[in-house]
Structure 1
Amino acid sequence: MVKTVIFDMDGVIVDTEPVHRYAYHTHFAELGIDVSEHVYNSFTGHSTKNTYERIKEIYGVEGEVQSLVLRKRALFNESFDTKPDLELIDGVRDLIEGLHAKGVELVVGSSASKSTIDRVFTRFGLYPFFTHIVSGEELPKSKPDPAIFLKAASLAKYNAKEECIVIEDSTNGIKAANAAGIRVIGYKSANSKQQDYTGANYIVHDFRDIDADYILAL
């Protein structure tokens, strides 16, 4: 029986991808590099730090990784704070509230920075529903490394892996859950691009089609 649900954030709770895209590509232009769509999509599920480590490897960009991260983060924050149409993914608030009402523990395991998670959780009033938040910036390796989900599971009150389930929208996230030995629901939305869901135990296309009882029955 599922007792703990570990949510990814970007693309699962809120669609911040357009804001990230703006921030990254604005910064890429500043750096004078042309990052193809294929390469950009390969970064899905990676932390910003690991993304810029790869950018430096691929394009020979100069500068410290931390400085690059801070510039991208500044661009993201400016856009996030001024974007009026940023909303939660359809159906996810009802799912979160329904799971919480049923006594299911909710944890976030996201590659996003702590400051980005805080912006989302503060803007949408999500803190009361989650017991723990694990940010990828706290860990040396990003998804598909399992560290983020292993840590999230270890913090959970019910930390037996068979009592946890992950909700993810990216190939790297699904691989990370697989490597951690935790079942995973693949959220395959209309916005999913170049993502492989074959490693997911279950696939959901719309959160409005499921509820807390669906997850509890898995």
Structure 2
Amino acid sequence: MSSETPSSTRAALFDVDGTLVDSNYLHVRAWQRAFREVGHDVDAWRVHRAIGLDSSLLLESLLGDDARMLGQRAKDLHSTYYLGARDSMRPLAGARDLIRELHGRGVQVVLATSAPEEELDVLREVLSVDSFIAHATSSEDVDDAKPDPGVLRAAMDRASVSADSAVMVGDAVWDAKAASRAGVTFVGVLSGGISRAELTEAGAVAVFEDAQDLLDHLESSPLSALLGN
């Protein structure tokens, strides 16, 4: 962490996979390989629909009754295959610049994810903007991932902000539902592959194509409420 991190009472909470890093489809492929290895062929579109969901719920929805017996093995394989795709990960358009801009405007940038520490470390290396990130959460901070609001509450606790002083940015329906349950304004991005209509229906007050589009319209976006003068 940088000593230059703002001590603001305002925070932008960011999902990472599919929001800041182009990794959702790498997750899909990793899960598909893992499921095939434990004896289940699962169509890619079904996996994609579950990306961002708490892993136990993802496994239940895709493996059914076999989740209890095969789930841990599938999780371990997924992690191996996903981390093995590190060279294919890259920041999404505008992600780094958006983080830098918010930091420069006095907003705490918090990575609000429940990714395992090992995965989060790789994602942070890919983003390569650690000096502009105030805090981050991981799977070690919560018992349940999104749509449970625990991730957002942990992120707000880290940043010492209240729900009305935070805005969540994410790409998944699960992000939107978690934000709603935490009482946090949610802004959606399309870069994870979920439609504008679904994000809006789940609670997004605004939807942008990606981080670059959000940065280009920052002053008129819900994030403008967080900006310093």
Equivalent residue for 2:175?
173
Q: For the Cα contact (< 8 Å) 2:137–2:154, is it kept in 1?
A: yes
Partners of 2:41 and 2:200 lie apart in 1 by 28
2:43 corresponds to 1:41: no
- Cα deviations across residues 99-146 of structure 1 (Å, max 9, x unaligned)? 011111011111322211110112331221112111245422221111
Secondary structure in structure 2 of the residue aligned to 1:184: strand
Q: Return the offset for 1:170.
A: 0.6
Q: For the Cα contact (< 8 Å) 1:105–1:130, is it kept in 2?
A: yes
**1:75-154 map, 5 Å:** 75-80=81-86, 82-83=87-88, 86-136=89-139, 138-154=141-157
2:35 aligned partner, one-letter code: F
Contact 2:10 / 2:107 at 8 angstroms: preserved in 1? yes
The whole-number CA distance in structure 2 between the counterparts of 1:75 and 1:190 is 19
Task: Give the CA deviation at 1:92.
Answer: 1.5
Q: Would the alpha carbon gap of residues 54 and 139 (structure 1) be closer, same or farther in structure 2, given more than 3 Å must change?
A: farther
56, 74, 77: which is aligned to 2:80?
A: 74
Q: For residue 15 of structure 1, what is the aligned residue in structure 2?
A: 22
Match of 2:212 in 1: 208
1:189 paired residue number: 191
CA distance in 2, matches of 1:181, 1:19: 31
For 1:68, what is the secondary structure of its paired residue?
helix
Q: Distance in 2 between matches of 1:64 and 1:31?
A: 7
* CA spacing shift, 1:126–1:48, aligned 2, 3 Å: farther
Question: Compared with structure 1, are the counterparts of its residues 186 and 178 closer, same or farther at alpha carbon in structure 2 (3 Å cutoff)?
Answer: same
Alpha-carbon deviation of 1:53?
4.6
The amino acid across from 2:37 in the alignment is: E
Structure 1, unaligned runs of 5 or more: none
**TM-score after normalising by structure 2:** 0.82
Give me the whole-angstrom Cα distance separating, in 2, the residues matched to 1:10 and 1:189: 10
1:30 correspondence with 2:41: no
- CA distance, structure 2, for counterparts of residue 207 and residue 90 of structure 1: 6
Q: CA RMSD in A?
A: 2.5
CA contact (8 A) 1:132 1:152 kept: yes
Task: Could you tell me which runs of 5 or more consecutive residues in structure 2 were left unpaired when the two chains were aligned.
Answer: 1-8
Higher helix share: 2
| Identical counterparts, % of pairs | 25
